[in-house]
Structure 1
Amino acid sequence: MRRLLLAVPVAALLVVAVVVLATEYVVARPSRRAKDVAYVPVNAPDVDKKRHLLDVYSPRKSAPHAAGFPVVLFIHGGSWTSGNKNLYTFIGRRLAKQGVVAVVINYRLAPAVHVPEQAADCARALAWTVQNISQYGGDPARVFVMGHSAGGGLAALLATDDELLAAHGLPHNPVRGAILDDPAGLDMYSYLREMKYSNDEQYLVPFGNDPTVWKQLSAIYKIRPGLPPFIFYLGGETYPSISGSSGRFRDKLKASGQAPLYTIMPGRHHIPMVLQLYWQHNLIYQGLLKFVGA
């Protein structure tokens, strides 16, 4: 009897694994993946051969427009200290299946580097995308940025910090819009000054001790008229710091003349806000496809 009881969970897990693999196969067929493409020259003095890489997911079908498909550059989260593009193949596959060229990137992590270097990495990946994405069927004039958690904060910087982009080969900001999925780090200046949650000191590892840098890396202080449009998705049960900073970001956008799309998903916690992207027809993809014109 004990053996039978042990076999039931194992059998169930095997069934789930088979279903997941079968689903991935079906989703993968309509797309192509170019894996581990270097976006920093190999002779650059600061090149990291494991982290300065990205994957491109392209639809196999022909683009409806001669210029190509819209492009979404996705930046993973992980508290600025962890994460890997290989965990997010499902996002690349599902975007490609729905007529979007997806660029899923790695960037260097703390404590090896700090957030200024991470933001620079994201800017370099964006510059590579604009310069090369036409080779993968993407339209360089329709590039959008997307991020979850820490990646959402970095994506917001790409959409707002023209000086950051100009320092890395983009004299004009090419971002056509930003999709922020439960974003963290939109206002690290206020967050790190207040230090009102337990273990907040951990974020001094990626951000350092200089309040000037905290403000420089907080996209909320770069809001001004004329920014590309934003679309927000917030978990109804996410961290108060994320819901609070996102609400303030939205209000400042409104004051600047932009009314961003802002959706709260009841009952959703922080991690499920990205895990739900495994399902092709979820609410985020529905809004994203309209947003990018796919």
Structure 2
Amino acid sequence: MTLKNCFLLWRSWLVLASVAAVGTLGGCSAAGALNALVPTDSYTLRSAVPYGPDPRQQLDVYLPVTRQQPGPVVVFFYGGSWTMGERDTYRFVGEALASKGITAVIADYRLSPQVRYPVFLQDSAQAVLWTFDHLAELGADPRQVFVMGHSAGAYNAAMLALDARWLGGVGLNPAQLAGWIGMAGPYDFLPIVNPDVQVAFEWPGTPADSQPLFHVSRKAPPTLLMAARADTTVNPVRNSEALARKLTAAGAPAGISIYEKVSHVTLVAALARPLRGLAPVLERIERFVQSPAAVAAE
């Protein structure tokens, strides 16, 4: 093995170790450690674009350097128990999608305790509205708009796709989405035991219709769910597997992939170029974006 290869191997293991270490503490901010190794030649970045008046209502756009236009666009929401998170931490997600010819919109949203449910859903809907309003300048196809999220962000994406109240509030409809992607999302979490989440959802006054499983119907857009078998933060059986079963029973196209070698945190970290060997999540997302109904039915 050459000295250069030794260095590259050591660097990849260092990043993996740092992500795993922070991940055991429940810190989704561990994702930021990956950005040092993310290429910058696959995208053009438009940073800190406002979609509302609040400082937290901003988004970053990752435009693929090369692709046939018009193409797909994915609006991504990060996790953090609705209490933490920054869009620039997820540059590795934007780069991963852009490297496959997919425009990525990564949105901040207001967090608890500044706000409570459902404000973060209203912000998420506003970010999707901004995307629809700017499709032409993004070189995006209005028939290929997706929402995607990890952890709490997957909840946001699920609610936009399944509960028409939120996109309806900004003049859109879930039927306008080509599909949605949930990574390690909480879709059925009542009663709430996490103290931070209790504040965010004003437990015990949390309404039953705050849960994505409550809104499953045949009209749901094509769905791709991904989870880690060993996830100790969000139970994959109660959440991802149960949602997939209920969508399928309702007649909605829904696919699910459960991965064995990742955790709650490293599932999304596997989108980063140095860690893609952990699980083929990027390939699965790419195929879903290319053919949502077909891949969801697999």
TM-score, structure 2 as length reference: 0.80
- Match of 1:53? 58
Deviations 1:201-224 (A, max 9, x none): 33211000354x442321110111
Q: Partners in 2 of 1:84 and 1:77 — Cα distance?
A: 9
- Match of 1:263? 257
SS in 2 for 1:90: helix
Q: Partners in 1 of 2:257 and 2:161 — Cα distance?
A: 19
Aligned length: 259
Q: Is the 1:236–1:269 contact (alpha carbons within 8 Å) kept by the matching residues of 2?
A: yes
Does residue 113 in structure 1 map to residue 115 in structure 2?
yes
Q: Partners in 2 of 1:134 and 1:285 — Cα distance?
A: 25
Equivalent residues in 2 for 1:156-171, closer than 5 Å: 156-171=158-173
SS in 1 for 2:85: coil
Give the direction of change, closer, same or farther, for the CA distance of 1:16–1:176 in structure 2 (3 Å limit): same
Find the structure with the greater CA-based Rg: 1
Q: Is the 2:77–2:156 contact (alpha carbons within 8 Å) kept by the matching residues of 1?
A: yes
- Match of 1:140? 142
- Match of 1:191? 191
Does residue 35 in structure 1 map to residue 47 in structure 2?
yes
Q: Is the 2:67–2:101 contact (alpha carbons within 8 Å) kept by the matching residues of 1?
A: no
Q: Partners in 1 of 2:126 and 2:248 — Cα distance?
A: 30
Equivalent residues in 2 for 1:71-220, closer than 5 Å: 71-171=73-173, 173-184=175-186, 186-188=187-189, 190-192=190-192, 195=193, 200-211=194-205, 213-220=206-213
Equivalent residues in 2 for 1:214-233, closer than 5 Å: 214-233=207-226
- Match of 2:4? none
Structure 1 unaligned residues grouped into runs of 5+: 1-11, 41-46
Q: Partners in 2 of 1:48 and 1:238 — Cα distance?
A: 34
| Residue identity in the other structure for 2:46 | A
- Match of 1:238? 231
Q: Partners in 2 of 1:227 and 1:101 — Cα distance?
A: 23
Q: Partners in 1 of 2:215 and 2:83 — Cα distance?
A: 24
Give the direction of change, closer, same or farther, for the CA distance of 1:276–1:111 in structure 2 (3 Å limit): same
Q: Partners in 2 of 1:258 and 1:139 — Cα distance?
A: 23
SS in 1 for 2:170: coil
- Match of 2:71? 69
| Residue identity in the other structure for 2:220 | L
Q: Partners in 1 of 2:243 and 2:174 — Cα distance?
A: 23
Deviations 1:131-189 (A, max 9, x none): 113202222221011100000111001111112111123256422111111112x123x
C-alpha RMSD of the superposition: 2.3
Give the direction of change, closer, same or farther, for the CA distance of 1:79–1:287 in structure 2 (3 Å limit): same
Percent identical across equivalent pairs?
30
* Cα deviation, residue 241, structure 1: 4.4
Q: Is the 1:124–1:169 contact (alpha carbons within 8 Å) kept by the matching residues of 2?
A: no
